[in-house]
């Protein structure tokens, strides 16, 4: 989002990192009609949050205050999924230490792999019935 905003206006300052953070949290919740219960850490809101490791080279330097504070820049531009140490959904920890604790990842991967052929078959049936005039699916 940040890069697209900058590219659209050809202005590196067009969309700052705080704006992107708001879009990803409160804005995302509002976009799906859940702004009254999701998108912020506040009383009465669902406890969905992540804890990100800040001791990685990508997050260095990590300055939380002062004139050179960059926490927002790091979270928008540097962090990767592998930097997420803990994930909480509705107050329940589902990832701890970077590992899923509520299901077996190998089992989930195997299930997805078993479902994929059927999904591709359904896609092909739809294309056969409706066509693909724009060539988007081939």
Report pLDDT for 11.
83
Is the per-residue pLDDT at 17 higher than 80?
yes
For residues 138 and 126, the answer to whether their CB atoms sit within 8 Å is: no
Cα 69 to Cα 43: distance, rounded to the nearest angstrom: 27
Cα 93 to Cα 99: distance, rounded to the nearest angstrom: 11
Class of domain 47-102: mainly beta
Tell me the DSSP string of 40-99. Answer: S-STTS---EEEE---SGGG-S---SSTT--HHHHHHHT--GGGEEEEEETTEEEEETTE
Res. 116 pLDDT band, cuts 50 70 90: very high
Is the per-residue pLDDT at 138 higher than 80?
no
Q: What is the pLDDT of residues 24-77, one digit of tens each?
A: 999 999 999 999 999 999 999 998 999 999 999 999 999 999 999 999 999 999
Q: What is the pLDDT of residues 96-107, one digit of tens each?
A: 999 999 999 999
Name the helix (H) or strand (E) containing 100: strand 99-100
For residues 41 and 48, the answer to whether their CB atoms sit within 8 Å is: no
Is the per-residue pLDDT at 127 higher than 70?
yes
Return all residues near 57 (Cβ < 8 A) that are at least 6 apart: none
Res. 1 pLDDT band, cuts 50 70 90: confident
Q: What is the pLDDT of residues 78-88, one digit of tens each?
A: 999 999 999 99
Burial of 17 (0-12, 13-18, 19+ CB in 10 A): middle
Report pLDDT for 60.
92
């Amino acid at each position: 989002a940040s890069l697209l905003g900058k590219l659209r206006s050809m202005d590196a300052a067009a969309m700052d990192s705080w704006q992107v953070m708001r879009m990803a949290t409160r804005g995302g919740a509002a976009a799906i009609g859940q702004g009254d219960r999701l998108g912020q850490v506040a009383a009465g809101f669902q406890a969905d949050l992540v804890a990100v490791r800040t001791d990685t080279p990508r997050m260095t330097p990590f300055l939380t205050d002062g004139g050179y504070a960059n926490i927002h820049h790091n979270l928008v531009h540097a962090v990767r999924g592998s930097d997420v140490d803990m994930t909480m959904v509705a107050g329940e920890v589902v990832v701890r230490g970077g590992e899923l604790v509520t299901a077996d990842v190998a089992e989930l991967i195997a299930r997805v792999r078993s479902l994929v052929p059927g999904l591709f078959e359904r896609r092909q049936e739809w294309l056969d019935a409706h066509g693909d005039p724009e060539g988007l699916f081939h």
